A and B are shown apart, each in its own frame.
Chain A
Amino acid sequence: MPRWISDEGGEEAALLAALGISSVEELFTDVPKKARIGRMGVGPGHEEPEVVREIDKILDRNRPLSKFAAFVGGRFQSRYVPAAVDAILSRSEFYTSYTPYQPEASQGMLRALFEFQSLWVELTGLDVANASLYDGATAAGEGLLFARRLHEGHRFLVPASLPWEERSVLENYASGPGLTVESIPYDERTGCLDLDFVRTAVRSGDVFGVLADVPNGFGHLDEGLVELKPILGDVPLVVSADPLSLTVLEAPGRYGADVVVGEGQGFGIAPSFGGPALGLFACRKEHVRMAPGRIAGATLDSEGRRAYALTLQTREQHIRRSRATSNICTNESLMALAFVVYASVVGPRGLAALQSSLAEKARTLASALGSVPGLQAPRFEAPYLCDFTVELRSGTARAFLDRLRRRKVLGGVPLADPRPGRSSGPERILVSATPTIGEKEIQKYAAAARAALSGGGAS
């Protein structure tokens, strides 16, 4: 038995004796015989050193990002996390606690969540943030349902360039209440939203919300964002924003966003193959009673001192049940803590400087790749920060990336929906400037791309 279950001095026998029974089996007489099982077939247990060896052996079959010149990014990021962030996350008072149902015993986490909410409010220019959702995609899903509570209608408009995973998640969130998700076409030259399409759709009615992302699914910045809200009028605008970009880009609340969601993994959280992640959500104060998820609020204790508690809980599933604003119970509190500790350790100037240096690298990268025959890089003319889209003139993105991989380059993320029959468009790749790349890696990518595309095509 693992030593995590104590039987010191035969304590199990003492527990049984106290109950006046001779076997634990007597505690399972309420499970009918016909429902009982024999062996599960799980295999034997192991001692801790064996477990460590076994798992290390499996993990050795991974080739982490550090083994490559890596240009994979998008919604998930590999950025250096200062050791101080993990030191705080490793405080077991934080990581072994539960949702702060007893606020007096949980002031530490509640205050950290309040600080996290405050930071997302400052970044977005909105009034209220919740204490986190699962990830960026599900936060967008909650944004869709939230928009529907603010406005009548059945149609939710999203950029056609939205990453396929987010589109699929949104379609699932829309399906319950019988809503539809529709694409806003983009300009083939710039990759930016067709605002006339939005105008016409909104005028024809039945649109209850519009989502726009910054940077968009192609990695580009769409100036049309600032024109959206006047077109929408009282139709809610949901903006999905990269948090780092908001250190240098206008706060979406300032150009009319009613909701700002996002993926917070890039702030102090290891990519860990995509999870745990961090869903971000902010809205206007007048709509807070329709918001999903936990919210930490400031109040007073019985001696009149500042204290914090989860609040506005009548919105939530444990009180409102089938009429709750969301089913969310467990969220990503520890990741929210990582977010605020990371931002505080790096500081506002450090964050903006990081964004700035990534943008510089992306320009060098774009010009290096732009000179590779067979690649259109960047594919779109709109400005960009650290990601942009590359299009292959021939061959498949997958084959191209495979060839790069053999030369120790992870060249980016294919944009196509991998489900059979879902994608027939041009072969495009989202390429990202990441903190670990320098001039050397950029030249390595360009050389590998040249080699991959020369001699008999890439497919």
Chain B
Amino acid sequence: MSFRQARWDEPSIWDLAPSDPGPVPEVPGVPERLRRKEGLRWPELSELEVVRHYTRLSQMNFGIDTSPYALGSCTMKYNPKVSEQLARRPGAADLHPYQPVETVQGALEVVWRLERILAKVTGLPEVSLQPAAGAHGEYAALLMVRAYFRDRGELAQRTEVLLPDTAHGTNPASASMAGFTTREIPSKDGCVDLAALRAAVSDRTACFMLTNPNTAGLFESEILEIAATVHGAGGMLYYDGANLNAILGITHPGRMGFDVAHLNLHKTFATPHGGGGPGAGVLAAGETLAPYLPVPRVVKRGRAFSLDYDRPKSIGKIRAGYGSFGLDLRAYAFAITHGEEGLKHVSRRAVLNSNYLGSRMGRYLPRPFRPLVKHEFLLSGAPLKEKGVRTLDLAKRLLDEGVHAPTIYFPSLVEESLMFELPETESKRELDRYYAAFERAVTDTPEHLHAAPRNLAVSRIDEVRAAREPLLSWKDLRAASAKVETP
């Protein structure tokens, strides 16, 4: 397949028209001291100019709709179009979060129903849709753990959060924001080293954070022993749901012994990720931690839904409003479309796709751990170093084929790692096309690999320069060009 991305020499929006700050209109009520002295500096454009500008920019962007998006741990599956339509219905979009509950019964019902479904999917009885993203859910969960140990009088002592060395970066960052210190548990053959975990747990352990399958794509088969170890020390077990797409209907966090979990609706439940967000980071809790979930909780009494604020142990609010309702609605549509059998099938197919592609690609690059993987798999690009090629070059070369690269250089326990995930919505034909693209890329000459990408809107980007001489806004660009023009 030959591929060329659009290459518009599109100016920045402020270069499309003059933007001399005009006078600020007299607005009733604005005291002189607070009045803006100089109008907003931004161009006045026709609607068509704006539409053309952003349409051209969109044509210089990969999305799931244009390209298989193999980013591992991101679960870039098809975002159903019907969900986009439903989320734009006036009965969903034109609702204010602070309308009286009597006027938003349908919204509360969607939330309530989705929470019940997710409780069953996770095996954890109480669910809150409030967190705005996965990391936000992690953070809220750790605040709940904190509140729990405060109630037990153990907070001063339980200061440590344990996590495997393969953990997503958000895990240690969330733990430290929530006031814990972190300690890494080394992996053995890609999984948690149970002996090391046993040696590390103590009466200082507040929580062990784990994703299962882990970021090496491996199922942590000793999960029940891990749970017993953490609980034996009095700690809580936290499930990072980033990789839930592998286990729907096979197992769930509740059965594995987790006390609390977050899920990413923008991964497993197919809500679009919007170029970085929005996300939705559902919280699910077992009985021990459920009383600490954020308020309000959506409750059903008879046929009526209401918001319950009477949860004395709750950590309170973690954002304004009740969550990303627009995404909850999309996730609900996804869930009831699939149903029990469909959701099971999601994971079976995702795992099948991953094993198929992994076994084929393994002909070219080593697979660091055991071959049986779940929804994603790792390759090591280390052998390419012999011909002077790095994983980064291979990733850029894949872009030239019109397919998105895998996650690279994570997890760091594998040298020059590449982490591929092509979820259940990729057909065998797409997998075979991806494989063919990979084969062309990995066997290409070092010169071509170093020169990649050549078929995109821009060539290889100097990211070091971006960090060394930061130009972060139009204001910076103006200052930089003034400097150049000054003799």
Is there a chain A Cβ closer than 8 Å to B425's Cβ? Answer: yes
Contact A307 B323 (CB under 8 A): no
Binds B, one of A33-41, A199-207, A447-455: A33-41
Given contacts A45-B338, A322-B175, A331-B276, contact A221 B61 (CB under 8 A): no
Is there a chain B Cβ closer than 8 Å to A317's Cβ? Answer: yes
Contact B341 A1 (CB under 8 A): yes
- B417 to chain A: closest CB distance in Å? 13
Instruction: Give complex CA distance A363, B30 in Å.
Output: 12
Per-residue contact bits, chain B 456-474, to A (CB 8 Å; 1 contact, 0 not)? 1111111101110111111
Is there a chain A Cβ closer than 8 Å to B433's Cβ? Answer: no
Contact A55 B320 (CB under 8 A): no
Per-residue contact bits, chain B 394-406, to A (CB 8 Å; 1 contact, 0 not)? 0110010000110
Instruction: Give complex CA distance A94, B323 in Å.
Output: 22
Instruction: Give complex CA distance A135, B131 in Å.
Output: 11
Is there a chain A Cβ closer than 8 Å to B31's Cβ? Answer: yes
**Which A residues are CB-close (under 8 A) to B113?**
58
**Which A residues are CB-close (under 8 A) to B132?**
134-135, 138, 275-277, 330, 332
Instruction: Give complex CA distance A403, B121 in Å.
Output: 41
Partner of B39, one of A352, A418, A419: A352
Contact A327 B103 (CB under 8 A): no
Partner of A118, one of B80, B178, B475: B475
Partner of B100, one of A67, A172, A352, A401: A401
Is there a chain B Cβ closer than 8 Å to A334's Cβ? Answer: yes
Contact A385 B98 (CB under 8 A): no
- Max count, chain A CB within 10 A of own CB: residue among B12, B35, B169: B169
**Which B residues are CB-close (under 8 A) to A345?**
45, 47, 50
Per-residue contact bits, chain B 175-211, to A (CB 8 Å; 1 contact, 0 not)? 1111111100000000000000000000000000000
Instruction: Give complex CA distance A41, B312 in Å.
Output: 31
Chain A, range 274-310, C-beta contacts under 8 Å to B: 274-277, 285, 288, 294-303, 305, 307-309
**Which B residues are CB-close (under 8 A) to A270?**
88, 93-94, 326
Chain B, range 304-360, C-beta contacts under 8 Å to A: 307, 309-310, 312, 315-327, 329, 332-333, 335-343, 345-346, 348-349, 351-353, 355-356, 359-360
Instruction: Give complex CA distance A65, B28 in Å.
Output: 27
Given contacts A40-B121, A117-B472, contact A88 B55 (CB under 8 A): yes
Contact A5 B319 (CB under 8 A): no
Given contacts A65-B95, A329-B134, A347-B44, contact A30 B325 (CB under 8 A): no
Contact B59 A4 (CB under 8 A): no
Contact A272 B326 (CB under 8 A): yes
Partner of A276, one of B174, B326, B333: B326
Given contacts A51-B336, A299-B466, contact A92 B63 (CB under 8 A): yes
**Which B residues are CB-close (under 8 A) to A340?**
13
Per-residue contact bits, chain B 41-74, to A (CB 8 Å; 1 contact, 0 not)? 1111101001101110111111111110101001
Binds B, one of A7-15, A152-160, A230-238: A7-15
The interface size of chain B toward A, counting residues with CB under 8 Å, comes to 209
Instruction: Give complex CA distance A36, B247 in Å.
Output: 10
Contact B459 A45 (CB under 8 A): no
Given contacts A128-B473, A226-B34, A248-B30, contact A74 B143 (CB under 8 A): no
Contact A93 B37 (CB under 8 A): no
Instruction: Give complex CA distance A43, B466 in Å.
Output: 51
**Which A residues are CB-close (under 8 A) to B333?**
51, 55
Contact B63 A93 (CB under 8 A): yes
- A419 to chain B: closest CB distance in Å? 5
Contact B461 A301 (CB under 8 A): yes
Chain A, range 48-75, C-beta contacts under 8 Å to B: 48, 51-52, 54-56, 58-68, 70, 72-75
Instruction: Give complex CA distance A107, B372 in Å.
Output: 36
Contact A327 B80 (CB under 8 A): no
- A80 to chain B: closest CB distance in Å? 11
Per-residue contact bits, chain B 148-187, to A (CB 8 Å; 1 contact, 0 not)? 0000000000000000000011101111111111100000
Contact A100 B276 (CB under 8 A): yes
Instruction: Give complex CA distance A301, B460 in Å.
Output: 5
Instruction: Give complex CA distance A301, B60 in Å.
Output: 15
Chain B, range 428-483, C-beta contacts under 8 Å to A: 428-429, 431, 453, 456-463, 465-467, 469-477
Contact A273 B47 (CB under 8 A): no
**Which A residues are CB-close (under 8 A) to B280?**
275
Is there a chain B Cβ closer than 8 Å to A376's Cβ? Answer: no
Instruction: Give complex CA distance A147, B355 in Å.
Output: 48
Contact B40 A42 (CB under 8 A): no
- B326 to chain A: closest CB distance in Å? 4
Instruction: Give complex CA distance A364, B138 in Å.
Output: 47
**Which B residues are CB-close (under 8 A) to A302?**
459-462
Contact B13 A344 (CB under 8 A): yes
Instruction: Give complex CA distance A51, B441 in Å.
Output: 42
Instruction: Give complex CA distance A118, B264 in Å.
Output: 30
**Which A residues are CB-close (under 8 A) to B138?**
327
**Which A residues are CB-close (under 8 A) to B172?**
317, 321-322, 324
Is there a chain A Cβ closer than 8 Å to B87's Cβ? Answer: yes
Is there a chain B Cβ closer than 8 Å to A323's Cβ? Answer: yes
- A12 to chain B: closest CB distance in Å? 7
Chain A, range 389-412, C-beta contacts under 8 Å to B: 401-402, 405, 410
Instruction: Give complex CA distance A301, B462 in Å.
Output: 6
Chain A, range 433-450, C-beta contacts under 8 Å to B: none
Instruction: Give complex CA distance A177, B143 in Å.
Output: 11
Partner of B279, one of A59, A93, A330: A330
Partner of B466, one of A44, A52, A311: A311
**B123 — nearest CB in chain A belongs to which residue?**
A37
- B398 to chain A: closest CB distance in Å? 9
- A211 to chain B: closest CB distance in Å? 15
Is there a chain B Cβ closer than 8 Å to A104's Cβ? Answer: yes
Given contacts A94-B275, A107-B57, A107-B60, contact A5 B465 (CB under 8 A): no
Contact A98 B74 (CB under 8 A): yes
Is there a chain B Cβ closer than 8 Å to A161's Cβ? Answer: no
**Which B residues are CB-close (under 8 A) to A163?**
320
- Max count, chain B CB within 10 A of own CB: residue among A58, A60, A173, A223: A58
Chain B, range 1-45, C-beta contacts under 8 Å to A: 5, 10, 12-14, 19, 21-22, 24-31, 33-37, 39-45
**Which A residues are CB-close (under 8 A) to B346?**
5
**B357 — nearest CB in chain A belongs to which residue?**
A15
**Which A residues are CB-close (under 8 A) to B88?**
86, 270
Instruction: Give complex CA distance A363, B27 in Å.
Output: 11
Contact B316 A168 (CB under 8 A): yes
- B100 to chain A: closest CB distance in Å? 6
Contact A330 B277 (CB under 8 A): yes
Is there a chain A Cβ closer than 8 Å to B390's Cβ? Answer: no
Partner of B336, one of A45, A166, A295: A45
Instruction: Give complex CA distance A268, B143 in Å.
Output: 33
Contact B28 A121 (CB under 8 A): no
Given contacts A31-B219, A102-B399, A275-B321, contact A84 B25 (CB under 8 A): no
Instruction: Give complex CA distance A298, B468 in Å.
Output: 11
- B213 to chain A: closest CB distance in Å? 9
Contact B473 A118 (CB under 8 A): yes
**Which A residues are CB-close (under 8 A) to B418?**
none
Given contacts A44-B341, A317-B170, contact A99 B326 (CB under 8 A): no
Instruction: Give complex CA distance A347, B343 in Å.
Output: 46
- A40 to chain B: closest CB distance in Å? 5
Known pairs A104-B396, A272-B93. 12 more at Cβ < 8 A?
A: A4-B78, A45-B336, A94-B63, A108-B59, A109-B57, A249-B36, A294-B276, A301-B462, A318-B170, A321-B169, A347-B45, A356-B26
**Smallest CB-CB A-B distances: 7 pairs:** A274-B321, A334-B274, A45-B339, A274-B97, A108-B61, A333-B276, A59-B91
Name 5 interchain pairs, CB-CB below 8 A, sorted by A. A101-B71, A178-B179, A274-B323, A275-B280, A362-B29
